[in-house]
Structure 1
Amino acid sequence: MNRRVLVAGALAGCTVMAAGGAMAAGWWTPWAAGELAGVDVSSHQGLIDWRALASDGVRFAYIKATEGGDYVDPTFAQNWTGARDAGLPRGAYHYFTLCRTGREQAAHFIATVPREAGMLPPAVDMEHKGPCRRGPTMPDSVVVSEMQAFLSRLEAHYGVRPILYTTREFHDAHLTELRGERFWLRSLFAPPNFRQDDWVIWQHHNNARKRGVATPIDLNAFRGDEAALQRFALQPEAGT
């Protein structure tokens, strides 16, 4: 192998390493085409410095609030306040299980998440297909109706229809016939190849690094500009 080949090989290796480093750091992002950068967080991220995070190119955040009928994320209240104080539009999400009715899960979310002006629409995470630890798992035939009961109760309370976070696997198993909903889709490193006309947020990275967060973090892209994000976040005044 001559020197030119060696140099070319070394340069190619550096390019691959740089690309891999950029992806890990969260720089390999889609908003060159106009989308805005966001994150979603839970207790897995530990203590977050929200001002540092907001200074690292982040424009919005979704924060885990609840799961099932009785679990509250232990960092929700702190993250909810921290994101607001850092000036970030933020919304809360619920991890929907197949173990409790939609009505029960909606009541739990509503009891936990305040209704505030400027918050993003609530989101429901629909990806769980495993068995329940206690009690029966709801049959496939009622998953959509129970989820819709959840959505309708949140819409009545918060004044806006929640968005649906889902994976391709869960979508194809349960949600293919669903119409008229807005989606937040998980599709790592490539644009979503399903619900292409229906997605509002795209989760494209699950192992990024951002200032103010000690652990890897999920990255998302909002489909629109700053004005569209402001319209997306428009909410009634709390208590109205």
Structure 2
Amino acid sequence: MPKKRNTARPHTGRRRLLAALLLVVLVAIGIGWWKARTWMPDRRDYPVQGVWLSDDIGPVDWRLLRAAGADFAYLTASEGISTRDTAFADGLIAARARGMQVGAVHVYDLCASADAQAANFVTIVPRDKDLLPPAIRFDIDSRTCQQVPGEAQMQSELTTFLNQVEKHAEKPVILMVSRALEKQYHLAARIDRNIWVEQDFLEPAYAGRPWVMWTASDRLRLDAANAPLHWVVVQQ
């Protein structure tokens, strides 16, 4: 009696294995994506946590934000020489109503006049001893500054800016420096101010010295807002 031929394709088993592996990978990616959207640093390591907001976030439910664990809020107040955040004044009132500490952020334009930038900031931010130290955001942004200044010019302009802002606030500022900015200008090493660093999930070391604040995630999703949030922790 003739033997039956095996009509099964020789690679069927391998294809099934690859399909199963692909499914596992996709599930792992999905879980990782979900965790990235909901991850916060452990409160045992960082008891004080909060958020950095600006008007591009859209409406914020301050009750839910406070319930999610935000002890403080840094609110973008101004950018460059003329941009002012439309949500700053209302956010200041709303955050305080929920018992949160509040600070103001200025987004520094490397190509703009220091005097004009300081004037923009002090115009919108009240002189209030209960505000947290002002935070100055530094990054290299080709959209607003295509030809960045040299180190000497940068430091001269920044000194002018800091003198005026700190006189208004009556306290030293915090320097919020990006990795790219720090690599080019070494502000953490040159200027004796507290440092605010940024990097998702893993503590950054690019400042070269201890930091005081860390934006640990820029993609946190909470019911308090319709857009991802910058979640910030304090080093104690």
Q: What TM-score range do you get, normalising by the shorter chain?
A: 0.7 to 0.9
Asked whether 1:79 is paired with 2:91, we answer: yes
In structure 1, how many angstroms separate the alpha carbons of the residues matched to 2:210 and 2:73?
20
| TM-score of the aligned structures, taking structure 2 as reference length | 0.81
In structure 1, how many angstroms separate the alpha carbons of the residues matched to 2:51 and 2:183?
25
Amino acid across the alignment from 1:68: G
Change (3 A) 1:215 1:131: closer
Amino acid across the alignment from 1:21: W
Structure 2 residue corresponding to 1:191, chosen from 203, 216, 231: 203
Query: Does the 8 Å contact 1:181/1:198 carry over to 2?
Result: no
Pairwise CA distance, 1:190? 0.8
Structure 2 residue corresponding to 1:24, chosen from 37, 40, 64: 37
Query: Does the 8 Å contact 1:163/1:182 carry over to 2?
Result: yes
Asked whether 1:62 is paired with 2:46, we answer: no
Structure 2 residue corresponding to 1:50, chosen from 62, 79, 82: 62
Pairwise CA distance, 1:23? 2.2
For the aligned residues, what is the CA RMSD? 2.7
Query: Does the 8 Å contact 2:200/2:215 carry over to 1?
Result: yes
Amino acid across the alignment from 2:69: G
Query: Does the 8 Å contact 2:151/2:185 carry over to 1?
Result: yes
Change (3 A) 1:50 1:28: closer
In structure 2, how many angstroms separate the alpha carbons of the residues matched to 1:185 and 1:115?
26
Asked whether 1:154 is paired with 2:165, we answer: yes
Question: Structure 2: where are the runs of 5+ without partners?
Answer: 1-13, 15-21
Structure 2 residue corresponding to 1:125, chosen from 129, 134, 137: 137
| TM-score of the aligned structures, taking structure 1 as reference length | 0.80
Query: Does the 8 Å contact 1:188/1:203 carry over to 2?
Result: yes
Change (3 A) 1:30 1:142: farther
Pairwise CA distance, 1:139? 4.2
Equivalent positions of 1:134-153 (< 5 A) are: 138-153=149-164
Bigger RCO of structures 1 and 2 (CA < 8 A, at least 6 apart): 1
Task: Give the aligned length.
Answer: 218
Pairwise CA distance, 1:17? 4.4
Pairwise CA distance, 1:97? 0.3
Look up the SS of the partner of 2:175 in the other structure: strand
Amino acid across the alignment from 1:145: S
Match of residue 237 from structure 1: none
Amino acid across the alignment from 1:175: H
Deviations 1:90-148 (A, max 9, x none): 100001002322121111101110122321100111103426479x7644431122122
